[in-house]
Amino acid sequence: MKKSRFNILVDKTPDYALIFNSFSRGFVELEKDVYQKFDALKLDSNDQIAKELKKGFFLMDEDVDEDKVLQARNRVSRYKGYRLGLLILPTLNCNFSCEYCFEDKQRGFMSPDVEQSIVGFIKSRVGEIRELKMSWFGGEPLLATKIIDRLAREIIDLCEANNVAYHSDLTTNGYLLNQKNIDWLKEIRVEQIQVTLDGDRETHDQRRKLKNGKPTFDTIISNLKLAAGHFGISIRVNIDRKNKGKVNNLLPVLVENNLQDKVYVYYGIVVGITNACRDYEPVCLDVDQLSDVMFDLHKDAIDNKYDFVLFPYPLSSVGGCGAMRPDFFVIDPKGFVHKCLNSAGNEKEAVGHISRPIGFTPELVTWLTWDPLEDEVCSQCKLLPLCSGGCLWNKLHGLHSCGYHRDPKFMNKLLKLYHEYTREKEIQPVL
Amino acid sequence: MRWVYKPDSLGLFNDNRSRCETYTGCDCYCPPKFIKLMIWGPPIPADWP
């Protein structure tokens, strides 16, 4: 037997040791004497504890090549191709003027020709897939309801005729999420909605204003109350230096509005990496700061029993970011096809155009073949099974590509907190 | 020993977490697709896909 290189010693006390394995995501508490035997590889391989630890990939037979197992798992997932995911930007226009927006505001809307090319593309794939996921994004997608309506209805018909499961989500600023649009979104089978609130009224309204400068918080909260219960709703809270100390003031406001059982909150970060938002970079938090800020926010949520704040227990991005797969594309209003949302609206970074067959352009080949196990840094990382290489767009642009969730300092503190919490509550993990 | 969190099954056909989603750490802008896999939280809405 040997130990996994993906074992991480989270904590060691006089009584026990905590070990996390980033391949299996298993997290185990071992009594001191058991840990000593485990660490010295003195556990009998027929021992029940050794068998359990093998299940969790903490221990394995000598002939197992972990990197090869990881590579196989990633490749199987990445190229299995029974699904298609399209992130559609019917417009880059927006009714908001958020100071940190990463997109170039462009006024145009998707043309009927581009719409028909999208439908044609799906027609060409629908016989090969079992699942289609349409994600409506923008700009503000609710400024382009007619386009989305035509596309969604035609695509739903195509899926039904071909026995393809149809799923759909919408990312909106929430200002136009009124009753009329809620009824319509249900008709076109949108299942999940993401809305952004950057804190309580005062904080949010300083950052996320209408183009004319007017506030948006109260309207969004009213709209969320209308939409609650009809969709899975996630509330993204964007964090940077300006609002880091105040964002959790939003949580009691959600409770006051009786939204605590109907929405999920998750914390996102503001980054200044695209042409549109590079000037905002000094306001963004660096990895070290993020680690502390994010930990404090999640601890605060737990201490105050705001259990609608998602706890970021490490998940595995098996196969990597959707952009690295052959079954996911972003389509911008002009019909340019991208692998990543960061390049939407920038024709130079497109991998093709929806009106033409998508070929093996050098850009596309890079996205499809990049392998973190061939990368000097990623291949040595103990957290590689979780992120599968992180953000390739960042990497291709010479930027830091690890998410803050993968910062060892953050993860260590987070796992200890999780241990404390589960111990106290005697929670049995559901997975 | 005590499982604080039980490990994933690691068989060839047990890969049910193969999605791009924010909480895996790419810090991008898309909504977390797999939040129903989170450990605790309010009940999942009945119509959650």
pLDDT, one tens digit per residue, over A170-213 is 999 999 999 999 999 999 999 889 999 999 999 999 999 999 99
CB contact under 8 A, A321 and B37: no
Question: Which has the closest alpha carbon to A240: A199, A194, A201, A212?
Answer: A199
Task: Show residues of chain A in contact with B21, CB under 8 Å.
Answer: 315, 317
pLDDT at A357: 95
- 3-state SS class at A298: helix
Which among A34, A94, A431 is the top mutation candidate for probing chain B, defined by the most B β-carbons within 10 Å of its own β-carbon? A431
Q: Which residues of chain B are within 8 Å of residue A423 when distances are taken between CB atoms?
A: 4
Name every residue in B having a CB less than 8 A away from some CB of A.
Answer: 1-8, 10, 12, 15, 17-45, 47-49
Neighbours of A224 (CB within 10 A): 21
Cβ–Cβ below 8 Å for B45 and A229? yes
Asked if the ipTM is above 0.90, the reply is no
Cα angle A242, A244, A247 (rounded to 5 degrees) comes to: 110
Contact criterion met (CB < 8 Å) for B17 and A315: yes
Whole-model pTM? 0.89
Residue contact B25–A308, C-beta within 8 A: no
Q: At residue A44, does pLDDT exceed 60?
A: yes
Residue B38 has pLDDT above 60, yes or no: no
Identify the CA nearest to A320 among candidates B40, B26, B13: B26
Q: Which of B9, B14, B16, B22 to mutate to test the interface with A (most CBs of A within 10 A)?
A: B22
CA distance A306 to chain B (A): 9
| Whether pLDDT at A91 is above 70 | yes
How confident is the model over B1-27, as pLDDT tens digits?
888 888 877 777 655 443 443 333 344
Alpha carbon distance, N-terminus to C-terminus of chain A: 26
Could you give the angle at the alpha carbon of A337 between the alpha carbons of A331 and A338, nearest 5°? 95
Nearest CA in chain B to A407: B25
Place of tokens 């005590």: B2
How far is B7 from A58, CA to CA, in rounded Å?
10
How far, in Å, are A192, A262, A265, A305, A419 from residue A255 at the CA level?
A: 21, 10, 12, 11, 27
CB atoms within 10 A of CB A95: 17
Contact, A85 vs A133, CB < 8 A? yes
pLDDT at A429: 41
% residues pLDDT > 90 (chain A): 59
- Using pLDDT thresholds of 50, 70 and 90, give the confidence band for residue A424: low
Q: Work out the angle between the directed axes of helices A32-39 and A48-55 (0-180°, nearest 10).
A: 70
Closest alpha carbon within chain A to B7? A26
What is the count of residue pairs from A and B with beta carbons less than 8 Å apart? 195
Q: What is the pLDDT of residue B21?
A: 38
Question: Radius of gyration of chain A from Cα atoms?
Answer: 23
Q: Mapped to the 3 state alphabet, what secondary structure does A155-197 carry?
A: HHHHHHHCCCEEEEEEEECCCCCCHHHHHHHHHCCCCEEEEEC
> Which of A127-131, A216-220, A256-260, A390-394 is least confident?
A390-394
State yes or no: pLDDT of A333 exceeds 90.
Answer: yes
* A61 exposure class (CB count in 10 Å sphere: 0-12, 13-18, 19+): exposed
A81: left (phi over 0), alpha (psi -120 to 50) or beta: left
CA distance B27 to chain A (A): 6
User: A128: which 2 tokens?
Assistant: 């090969």
**If phi over 0 gives left and psi between -120 and 50 gives alpha, with beta otherwise, what is residue A41?**
left
Which one is predicted more confidently, B48 or A99?
A99
Measure B1 CA to nearest chain A CA, in Å: 5
